[in-house]
């Protein structure tokens, strides 16, 4: 065996008390290093190249066979490689030929009955000017989904807006059509919706129950925080009405757990207080936070200092998630749960999300967009529901993001979890969705390091948590 070197971009070590974990970057997996593994890696840390002579120094405590076995393991993980060879740290550039679409987002109405100050929706209008999607366009969208991606077992139809509840007649018709159509194909179809809740009624909740909708409510926290931005067209805060509707919903809705999505903007950074209100007082099953950093209206973007504060709060909540996990309890904190799920499943994200591959959003006129955030934007469409996906253009787009060469992401230790970040943030920040969103990489890396520590502690102290709370959520 010749000399070997460490492939630094493929590993990251995190200490958990006296133990050391290896975060294997290519597979997003976490292993505990035993004494021999630790000592071997220290040898590689201190020598550019490790030779047989240097390995011989380990023979006082370990058999040669044990050393060889651990070396083989590290080599198969591509954590070490033969000196002089070029180690692989990213998959070879690939051609994208398949789009296994399973999710279609329908922008059922550009109009919204609220006028949230920070809203990013570029096609958003006030209710009276709202343009509703036609029934034919919605049905063509479903048929396009089936044409482009037949033979899938499970499909998702997402209703988005504006405010989707403001076009319930269309939603009812689409649901009726889909339930029949997908049953004929022996496939399942799942319906989801994000809503501001203001138009919810008991009758609607019963109807959603019947059709097992996945519901997420947009709410920003206690009254003062929520009413800062989430206002009516006339400028009134909406907390009181949203709270009433949410209380009714959470009492009445039994089909699935209901989640809450919080938008964090300038001046709103106290994630723990928001969490305690929405989860503890109102009773949402899960709360997730979306920090705004690159919105069109700069004055709503969190400042650098605020973003640091937000991440610190997110970590404090993460500690509570960990404490609950060690007691074998679920703590409904979406951001942490998603990160832990990615690690548990060993998700290697070559792209940041399903947009453009598993998911496309249809605007009111039938144009195909990367996701719901792009409908109505200036970004060129990727086809339409009549002619189908513009595959060459979409392939070119995805291939550009897949190619990490000469970007900061190429060797970044969280490249397979972050994957350059949200396309829409890049679009808003740089005018180019293929550009990585570099504006808070250090905070993201710190967040993922923290996630590795949380994951490792659960793995070491209560591994049953994964089976009890991570697997079932994924298959639900
Ligand atoms: S965007 Fe930043 S944090 Fe994300 S993978 Fe690229 S370099 Fe890393
Ligand atoms: S591009 Fe951004 S907003 Fe759109 S689905 Fe992906 S992560 Fe979400």
Average pLDDT for 25-54: 93
Strands of 214-218's sheet, edge to edge? 286-291, 259-264, 214-218, 188-195, 154-161, 103-109, 359-362, 368-369
CB of 393 closer than 8 Å to CB of 379: no
CA of 428 to the centre of ligand 1 (A): 17
116-125, 157-166, 222-231, range with the lowest pLDDT: 116-125
Q: If you average pLDDT over every residue of the chain, what do you get?
A: 92
Q: Is the pLDDT of residue 474 over 60?
A: no
- Residue 41's pLDDT is 96
Q: Is the pLDDT of residue 475 over 70?
A: no
Q: What global pTM score does this model have?
A: 0.91
Q: Is the pLDDT of residue 234 over 90?
A: no
- Digit-coded pLDDT (tens) for 387-432: 999 999 999 999 999 999 999 999 999 999 999 999 998 998 899 9
Ligand 2 pocket test, pick from 371, 401, 417 with the greatest ligand atom count within 8 Å of Cβ, gives: 371
Q: Which residues make beta-bridge pairs with 22?
A: 13, 31
Sign of the dihedral defined by the CA atoms of residues 267, 270, 273, 278, in that order: positive
- Residue 123's pLDDT is 64
Helix (H) or strand (E) holding 448: helix 441-461
Residue 287 Cβ inside 6 Å of ligand 1? The answer reads: no
Q: How many other CB atoms sit within 10 Å of the CB of residue 446?
A: 16
CA of 352 to the centre of ligand 2 (A): 8
Q: E strands within 235-355?
A: 259-264, 286-291
- Digit-coded pLDDT (tens) for 168-205: 999 999 999 999 999 999 999 999 999 999 999 999 99
How far is residue 141's CA from residue 309's CA, in Å, rounded to a whole number? 42
Look at ligand 2, atom 2, and give the residue with the nearest C-alpha.
422
Ligand 1 pocket test, pick from 353, 411, 444 with the greatest ligand atom count within 8 Å of Cβ, gives: 444
Q: Which residues make beta-bridge pairs with 132?
A: 109
Q: Is the pLDDT of residue 385 over 90?
A: yes
Q: Which residues make beta-bridge pairs with 5?
A: 81
Burial level of 76, CB count in 10 A (0-12/13-18/19+)?
A: exposed
- Digit-coded pLDDT (tens) for 10-27: 999 999 899 999 999 998
From residue 25, give the alpha-carbon distance in Å to each of 107, 213, 449: 37, 36, 12
CA of 325 to the centre of ligand 2 (A): 28
388 closest CA partner among 153, 216, 141: 141
Which residues make Cβ contacts (< 8 Å) with residue 68, sequence separation at least 6?
none
Burial level of 365, CB count in 10 A (0-12/13-18/19+)?
A: middle
Which ligand has its closest atom nearest to the C-alpha of 409? 1
CA of 277 to the centre of ligand 2 (A): 27
How far is residue 160's CA from residue 121's CA, in Å, rounded to a whole number? 11
Residue 430 Cβ inside 6 Å of ligand 1? The answer reads: no
DSSP helix/strand/coil, 20: strand
DSSP helix/strand/coil, 19: strand
Looking at residue 144, what DSSP letter applies? H
Sign of the dihedral defined by the CA atoms of residues 176, 180, 181, 185, in that order: positive
CB of 14 closer than 8 Å to CB of 455: no
- Residue 476's pLDDT is 47
From residue 194, give the alpha-carbon distance in Å to each of 213, 217, 261: 10, 6, 9
CB of 226 closer than 8 Å to CB of 239: yes
Atom of ligand 2 nearest to the CA of 423: 1
What is the band of 235 on the pLDDT scale with cuts at 50, 70, 90?
confident
- Residue 180's pLDDT is 98
Mode of pairing for the β-strands spanning 214-218 and 259-264: parallel
Residue 424 Cβ inside 6 Å of ligand 2? The answer reads: yes
CA of 372 to the centre of ligand 2 (A): 8
Which ligand has its closest atom nearest to the C-alpha of 349? 1
How far is residue 316's CA from residue 321's CA, in Å, rounded to a whole number? 9
Q: Is the pLDDT of residue 99 over 60?
A: yes
Ligand 2 pocket test, pick from 105, 192, 351, 353 with the greatest ligand atom count within 8 Å of Cβ, gives: 353
- Digit-coded pLDDT (tens) for 251-297: 999 999 999 999 999 999 999 999 999 999 999 999 999 998 877 67
Residue 435 Cβ inside 6 Å of ligand 1? The answer reads: no
One-character DSSP codes across 75-105: HHTTSEEETTS----SPPP---------EEE
Residue 379 Cβ inside 6 Å of ligand 2? The answer reads: no
Residue 84 Cβ inside 6 Å of ligand 1? The answer reads: no
How far is residue 461's CA from residue 472's CA, in Å, rounded to a whole number? 20
- Digit-coded pLDDT (tens) for 47-79: 999 999 999 989 999 999 999 999 999 999 999
Q: Where are the alpha helices (DSSP H) in 327-422?
A: 334-344, 391-402, 415-418
Atom of ligand 2 nearest to the CA of 374: 4
- Residue 92's pLDDT is 84
Residue 439 Cβ inside 6 Å of ligand 1? The answer reads: no
């Amino acid at each position: 065996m010749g000399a070997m070197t460490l492939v630094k971009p493929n590993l990251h070590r995190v200490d958990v008390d006296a133990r050391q974990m290896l975060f294997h970057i290519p597979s997003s997996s976490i292993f505990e290093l035993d004494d021999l593994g630790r000592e071997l890696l220290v040898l590689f840390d201190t020598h550019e190249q490790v030779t047989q002579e240097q390995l011989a120094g380990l023979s006082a405590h370990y058999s040669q066979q044990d050393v060889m076995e651990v070396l083989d393991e590290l080599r198969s993980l591509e954590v070490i490689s033969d000196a002089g060879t070029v180690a692989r740290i990213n998959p070879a550039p690939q051609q994208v030929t398949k789009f296994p679409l399973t999710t279609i987002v329908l922008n059922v109405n550009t109009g919204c009955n609220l006028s949230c100050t920070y809203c990013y929706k570029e096609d958003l209008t006030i209710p009276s000017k709202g343009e509703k999607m036609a029934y034919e366009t919605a049905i063509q969208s479903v048929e396009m989904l089936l044409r482009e991606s037949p033979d899938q077992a499970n499909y998702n139809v997402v209703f988005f807006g504006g405010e989707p509840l403001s076009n319930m007649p269309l939603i009812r018709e689409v649901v009726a059509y889909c339930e029949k159509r997908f049953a004929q194909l022996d496939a399942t179809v799942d319906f989801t919706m994000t809503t501001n809740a203001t138009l919810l009624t008991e009758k609607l909740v019963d109807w959603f129950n019947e059709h097992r909708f996945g519901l997420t409510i947009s709410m920003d926290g206690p009254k003062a925080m929520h009413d800062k931005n989430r206002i009516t067209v006339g400028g009134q805060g909406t907390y009181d009405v949203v709270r009433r509707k949410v209380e009714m919903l959470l009492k009445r809705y039994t089909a699935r757990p209901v989640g809450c999505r919080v938008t964090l903007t300038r001046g709103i950074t106290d994630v723990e207080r928001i969490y305690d209100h929405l989860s503890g007082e109102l009773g949402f099953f899960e709360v997730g936070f979306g920090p705004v950093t690159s919105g069109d209206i700069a004055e709503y973007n969190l400042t650098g200092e605020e973003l640091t504060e937000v991440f610190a709060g997110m970590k404090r909540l993460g500690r509570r998630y960990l404490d609950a996990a060690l007691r074998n309890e679920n703590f409904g904190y979406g951001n942490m749960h998603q990160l832990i799920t990615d690690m548990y499943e060993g998700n290697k994200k070559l792209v940041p999300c399903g947009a453009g591959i598993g998911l496309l959003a249809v605007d009111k006129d039938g144009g195909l967009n990367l996701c719901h955030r792009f409908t109505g934007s200036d970004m060129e469409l990727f086809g339409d529901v009549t002619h189908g996906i513009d595959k060459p253009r979409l392939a070119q787009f995805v291939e550009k993001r897949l190619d990490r060469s000469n970007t900061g992401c190429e060797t970044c230790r969280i490249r397979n979890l972050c994957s350059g970040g949200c396309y829409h943030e890049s679009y808003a920040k740089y005018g180019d969705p293929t550009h990585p969103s570099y504006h808070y990489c250090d905070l993201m890396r710190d967040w993922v390091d923290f996630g590795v520590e949380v994951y490792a502690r659960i793995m070491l102290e209560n591994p049953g948590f994964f089976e009890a709370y991570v697997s079932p959520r994924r298959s639900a």
